[in-house]
Amino acid sequence: MDRRDQTTHFGYRDVPLGEKQTLVNEVFHSVASRYDLMNDLMSIGLHRVWKDIMITQLNPPKSEAPFALLDVAGGTGDIAFRAAKAGGPGFRATVCDINADMLEVGRNRARAQHLDDRVCFVAGNAEALSFPDRSFDAYTIAFGIRNVPRIDVALREAYRVLRPGSRFLCLEFSTVDVPGLDRLYDLFSFRVIPPLGRAVTGDAESYQYLVESIRKFPRPNAFAEMITAAGFARVKWEILSGGIVALHSGWRL
């Protein structure tokens, strides 16, 4: 099928595959300057805990040995900064994101935290990374893959740029199946988050997209199958906070 004829989801809307990225870019252009504040408010600070769990799994070496992390859809740099603080003098991170506004916020934060010598920011698309084959020791993507139009292509790119023996880690919103919590979570998602988005960023629609896109993302087992299909081995996942989030991992062997 011609790419122009294929459709995908943008939240609950079906859109041509080629248009999703433009719509996603508009979302993050609109919210970039208040993105970090909104994360704290709408997750009641929990995103910090989930990100710390990801860094614990990543376990960057504390030594002087070189270790190169690629954080894709890294936005304002949260994962890279946490990893840099946990890693040793040999640690370097590259934050790759498609959105210039998010990267600009990230660069300013890196300077403010004196991490700009160890974390660099590069514009790029997860579906077509500009890095050579086998050039990184770990690949992370947090709350990013859901936004990428062709997830299977991005996963194959992740595999390509990783050195054999290195790790893929993906943190993403998932499916809440706990009775009681699911209704509460839906209520909070649809009744609280978009109005909160309007109050803080002036943009409710972007946060409506956020809550809808979460519902359209594959369940943990289906996503694990996609990671395996991209070539990764020993794929597993951990459910966090009753299924609000899942942390998937795999190895390029």
As a whole number of angstroms, the distance between CA 95 and CA 122 comes to 6
Site for ligand SAM in 69-88 (CB under 6 A): 72-75, 78-79
Q: In the bound complex, what is the minimum distance in angstroms from residue 221's beta carbon to ligand SAM?
A: 23
CB of residue 148 vs ligand SAM: minimum separation in angstroms? 4
Residue 125 touches ligand SAM, criterion: CB under 6 A: yes
Half-sphere exposure of 129 (CA within 13 A, CB side): 26
Contacts of 32 (CB under 8 A, 6+ apart): 76, 99, 101, 102, 104, 105
Binding of ligand SAM at residue 106 (CB under 6 A)? no
- Residue of 26, 127, 212, 238 that binds ligand SAM (CB under 6 A): 127
Cα 46 from Cα 146, distance rounded (Å): 19
Among 10, 11, 28, 243, binds ligand SAM (CB under 6 A): 28
98 binds ligand SAM (CB under 6 A): yes
* Close Cβ partners of 112 (under 8 Å, ≥ 6 residues apart): none
CB of 143 to ligand SAM, least distance (A): 4
Residue span 1-20 as binding mask against ligand SAM, x where in contact by CB under 6 A, dash where not: --------------------
Q: How far is the CB of 166 from ligand SAM (least distance, A)?
A: 19
Residue 169 forms beta bridges with which residues? 140, 249
What Cα–Cα distance (Å) separates residue 215 from each residue in 108, 117, 168?
33, 38, 23
In one-letter notation, the amino acid at residue 229 is A
Helices (H), 32-143: 35-42, 46-58, 78-86, 100-112
The span from the first CA to the last CA of the chain, in angstroms, equals 33
Rounded CA gap, 115 and 125, in Å? 23
Sign of CA dihedral 86, 89, 90, 96: positive
Considering the rule CB under 6 A, would residue 119 count as an interface residue with ligand SAM?
no
Taking CB under 6 A as the rule, does residue 97 contact ligand SAM?
A: yes
* Binding-residue pattern over the window 138 to 177 for ligand SAM, x denoting contact by CB under 6 A: ----xxx--xx-----------------------------
Stretch that binds ligand SAM, among 59-67, 92-100, 172-180, 244-252 (CB under 6 A): 92-100
- For ligand SAM, the closer of residues 76 and 166 by Cβ is 76
Task: Give residues in contact with ligand SAM (CB under 6 A).
Answer: 21, 24, 28, 72-75, 78-79, 97-99, 102, 125-127, 142-144, 147-148
